[in-house]
Amino acid sequence: MLFLNGLGLLLYHIKEVELHAQTEDALTREIAHKYGSDYPIPELADGTEVDLLSKDYAFEVDFLNKWYEAIGQSQHYAKVLKMDPAIILLVSLPVSKREAEKIADAAYICGKNNIRLYLEFYEPNKP
């Protein structure tokens, strides 16, 4: 396991795993058990759908390029469920400099908003 200390605010837990699926839904299904969650999760009372639930966290799972959307969704799920917010970003390998910058941006914003951030790395299908 590798831990990052995002600007001294929080520790971000990063899991490096070998994922084989390629769609968000399939990747989420593949990682659910690692986060102590069933999949799929029933729709919430307000009509929204949290991606994964553990005993402590309400998770939003998204591809790295949608990290900013994940921020609001994770906070919403946490409020509705009275749990702590968490995000799992799906990151394709290899990681470019621009993608590393997105990870740093997400870590900074998550740290400022007390959102737990996890990264799951996967290799995209080769043509």
Q: Would you state the structure tokens that stand for residue 125, as one six-digit string?
A: 């299908």
Is 3 within a domain?
no
Question: Of 37, 20, 33, 12, whose CA–CA distance to 89 is shortest?
Answer: 12
Determine the Cα–Cα distance for residues 58 and 117; give it in Å rounded to an integer. Answer: 12
Q: Phi, psi at residue 100, to the nearest 5°?
A: -60, -35
Neighbours of 90 (CB within 10 A): 23
* Structural domain that includes position 81: 29-122
Q: Is residue 94 part of a domain?
A: yes
In a domain, 108, yes or no: yes
Is 59 part of a structural domain of the chain?
yes
Please check whether residue 85 lies inside any domain of the structure: yes
* Exposed / middle / buried, residue 37 (Cβ in 10 Å: 0-12, 13-18, 19+): buried
**pLDDT tens-place values along the chain, 127 residues long:** 333 444 333 333 444 455 556 789 988 998 999 999 999 899 999 999 999 999 999 999 999 999 999 999 999 999 999 999 999 999 988 999 999 999 999 999 999 999 999 999 888 875 5
